[in-house]
């Protein structure tokens, strides 16, 4: 359960992102109008103040939500908000840099609208995340939506995306079906988040322990060498003066 949600930072430029403070971060990304704000509200029980907007693409800021003083949800602007090519490229570069360099980033929720056919940009992001070994899950949104009889169903859209990913990759990412209307998938998302945070914590603890062992071994080796050198000195016959 998420008890306390606090918006700690909201910036419009990647340069102003808060410096890393060691707490784990989970980023949310998806096309504008994918249902990100609604999902955020569903996850945080309406305490995130993320606005559900009728106008696609109004969420432009990078918002850090501190959850229970232990970890962050990082709400990234939906791709597609930018209209000019230059703006699109600069946004894309920032997100990819953020994904690759942010030490505290544990994983990403890639939001994809299941009520429409997969967009190339969604596939690009999925390919990017798989190709760069960034832990993520695909969160399909709007799974409650039923469109007309001549449009593909949610299941057909999900299968089509998986088929397209299968053309390139052996292992597919996990998927979570959600609806902010019925609250389907909330528990699965929270489980995914806690498992990747735990995974990261264990990996960090292991790294720290390995570093400690290496340091201890180096110190032991240094002492041994010093002792050996002293012994050698003592054994050396004294020269007559
Ligand atoms: P954002 O731009 O990604 O933050 O998207 P919003 O959360 O503002 O949602 C965009 C539109 O999709 C709004 O009209 C929402 O009411 C609608 N929407 C979002 N999630 C769902 C969902 O799970 N089911 C349905 N049926 N509509 C949704």
pLDDT at 159 over 70: yes
Min mean pLDDT across 129-133, 146-150, 226-230 is at 146-150
Ligand 1: residues within 6 Å at CB?
A: 32-38, 52-54, 56, 59, 78, 141-142, 144-145, 179-181
Min mean pLDDT across 34-48, 119-133, 212-226 is at 34-48
State the pLDDT confidence band at 181, using cuts at 50, 70 and 90.
very high
Compute the distance from residue 50 Cα to the ligand 1 centre, in Å. 12
Min mean pLDDT across 59-68, 114-123, 179-188, 215-224 is at 59-68
Instruction: Please state whether beta strands 62-67 and 5-11 pair in parallel, antiparallel, or not at all (unpaired).
Output: antiparallel
CA-based end-to-end distance of the chain: 83
The pLDDT value recorded for residue 133 is 92
- Which helix (H) or strand (E) covers residue 27, if one does? strand 25-30
State the pLDDT confidence band at 95, using cuts at 50, 70 and 90.
confident
Q: Given strand 136-141, what is the order of strands in its sheet?
A: 5-11, 62-67, 71-75, 25-30, 105-113, 136-141, 174-177
**Nearest CA owner, ligand 1 atom 18:** 35
The pLDDT value recorded for residue 54 is 45
The stretch 20-26 carries a mean pLDDT of 93
Residue to mutate, 27, 32, 38, 43, ligand 1, most ligand atoms under 8 Å from C-beta: 38
pLDDT at 23 over 70: yes
| Burial classification of residue 164, based on how many CB atoms lie within 10 Å of its CB (0-12 exposed, 13-18 middle, 19 or more buried) | middle
Report how far residue 40's alpha carbon sits from residue 46's, in angstroms, rounded to the nearest whole number. 8
Q: What's this model's pTM, rounded to 2 decimal places?
A: 0.86
Measured at the alpha carbon of residue 4, what is the angle toward residues 199 and 36, in degrees to the nearest 5?
70
- List, for residues 37-94, the tens digit of each pLDDT value: 899 999 988 776 665 544 444 446 788 999 999 999 999 887 776 667 777 777 788 8
Please give the DSSP secondary-structure letter assigned to residue 21. Answer: -
Shortest-distance atom of ligand 1 to CA 141:
23
Compute the distance from residue 179 Cα to the ligand 1 centre, in Å. 9
The pLDDT value recorded for residue 51 is 52
Min mean pLDDT across 81-90, 121-130, 154-163, 182-191 is at 81-90
């Amino acid at each position: 359960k998420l008890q306390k949600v606090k918006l700690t930072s909201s910036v419009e430029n990647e340069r102003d992102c808060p410096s890393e403070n060691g707490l784990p971060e989970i980023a949310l990304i998806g096309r504008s109008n994918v249902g990100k704000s609604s999902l955020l509200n569903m996850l945080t029980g309406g305490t995130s103040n993320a606005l559900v907007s009728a106008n696609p693409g109004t969420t432009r800021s990078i918002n850090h939500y501190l959850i229970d003083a232990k970890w962050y949800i990082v709400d990234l602007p939906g791709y597609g908000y930018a209209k000019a090519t230059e703006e699109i490229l600069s946004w894309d570069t920032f997100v990819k840099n953020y994904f690759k360099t942010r030490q505290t980033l544990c994983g990403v929720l890639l939001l994809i609208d299941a009520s429409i056919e997969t967009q190339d940009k969604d596939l690009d992001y999925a390919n990017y995340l798989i190709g760069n070994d960034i832990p993520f899950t695909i969160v399909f949104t709007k799974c409650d939506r039923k469109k007309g009889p001549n449009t593909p169903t949610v299941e057909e859209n999900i299968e089509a995306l998986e088929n397209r990913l299968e053309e390139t990759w052996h292992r597919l990412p996990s998927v979570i079906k959600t609806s902010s209307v019925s609250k389907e998938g909330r528990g699965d998302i929270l489980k995914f988040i806690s498992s990747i945070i735990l995974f990261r914590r264990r990996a960090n603890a292991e790294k720290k322990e390995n570093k400690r062992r290496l340091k201890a071994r180096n110190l032991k080796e240094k002492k041994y060498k010093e002792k050996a050198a002293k012994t050698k000195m003592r054994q050396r016959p004294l020269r007559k003066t």
